Amino acid sequence: MSQPSTITIDGQTVPFQEGQTIMEAALAANIYIPHLCYQRDLTPDGSCRLCTVTVNGRNTSACNTKAMAGQQVLNNTQELQDIRQTLTRMLFVEGDHICPGCTKTGNCQLQAVAYYVGMLSSHYHHFYSYRKIDASHPDYFIDFNRCILCELCVRASRDVDHKNVFGLSGRGRKTHLVINSPSGELADTDFAVGDKAAFICPVGAILRKRTRYTTPIGERLYDLQPINVVGDAQQIHAGAKRHGNQN
């Protein structure tokens, strides 16, 4: 029987199966690589770049780079953490990520990643962009000001829900989330409570109406343990326990 193929991550030997990405191999070995646009069941997008790792001396995104035998991967280094912190800061200033007033606080993956990479301030000037909220849907509202263009909702709606409710439009810094409906409003789509896209948003952009702040401080996902221990925010959907908490 042949030996399983392995890579090393920060010196630790990590086995992988043929076809797995570095991210998948790392997660299987309980090694946390920061990420926002990656989700286990969806095709990797590689857009947030937070999972940047150094593979044999070159930086690449772990979520869409295949693991190959003998790779030497650096993940938890100061240089990479600095890069991730810079990326996280840029995400914060581009949108309206004011944690104290956001309903996702404590359960937000962006916030948790910011803590993980040691971000203590935004550093850069805020864009203060204003994008109108879409509250037309009876059960959900979209706060475009908080969208980080991770495309998780786009992929979930298209590939899992088979509804194609969301899309990205524009180019460069003008790229923005759009709703695929004649009016451009969520109410004119068949988006529904049970959709995977309804609870996949890692930030506070797609939120269930009227069910906010239901989890007390101290019991929220990232109150208890950091994201490198707890994992992605979407998991709490399954663990929702009080007052119909969905996020």
Residue ranges binding other proteins (CB under 8 A): 100-101, 103, 132-133, 135-136, 141, 209-219, 242-243
Task: Taking each helix axis as running N to C, give the angle between helix 78-94 and helix 109-116, from 0 to 180 degrees, rounded to the nearest 10.
Answer: 140
Q: Which residues contact 206 (CB under 8 A, 6 or more apart)?
A: 140, 142, 153, 197, 198, 199, 200
Q: Are 200 and 153 in contact (CB under 8 A)?
A: yes
In whole angstroms, the minimum distance from the beta carbon of 112 to other proteins comes to 17
Q: Tokens standing for 77?
A: 């280094």
- Identify which of residues 79 and 219 has a Cβ nearer to other proteins in the complex: 219
In whole angstroms, the minimum distance from the beta carbon of 106 to other proteins comes to 9
In whole angstroms, the minimum distance from the beta carbon of 57 to other proteins comes to 46
- Identify which of residues 126 and 243 has a Cβ nearer to other proteins in the complex: 243
- Identify which of residues 57 and 101 has a Cβ nearer to other proteins in the complex: 101
In whole angstroms, the minimum distance from the beta carbon of 192 to other proteins comes to 17
Please state, in angstroms and rounded to a whole number, the distance separating the CA atoms of residues 148 and 94: 8
- Identify which of residues 71 and 215 has a Cβ nearer to other proteins in the complex: 215
Q: Tokens standing for 43?
A: 């095709």
Question: What phi and psi values does residue 89 have, to the nearest 5 degrees?
Answer: -60, -40
Reported in sequence order, the residue ranges of the chain that DSSP labels E, i.e. its strands, are 6-9, 12-15, 52-55, 58-61, 72-74, 140-142, 166-169, 176-179, 206-208
**109, 125, 205, 237 from 146: Cα distances, Å:** 12, 16, 5, 20
In whole angstroms, the minimum distance from the beta carbon of 72 to other proteins comes to 44
- Identify which of residues 11 and 218 has a Cβ nearer to other proteins in the complex: 218
- Identify which of residues 28 and 133 has a Cβ nearer to other proteins in the complex: 133
SS3 category, 124 = coil
Q: List, in sequence order, every residue forming a beta bridge with 234; answer none if it has no partner.
A: none
In whole angstroms, the minimum distance from the beta carbon of 142 to other proteins comes to 11
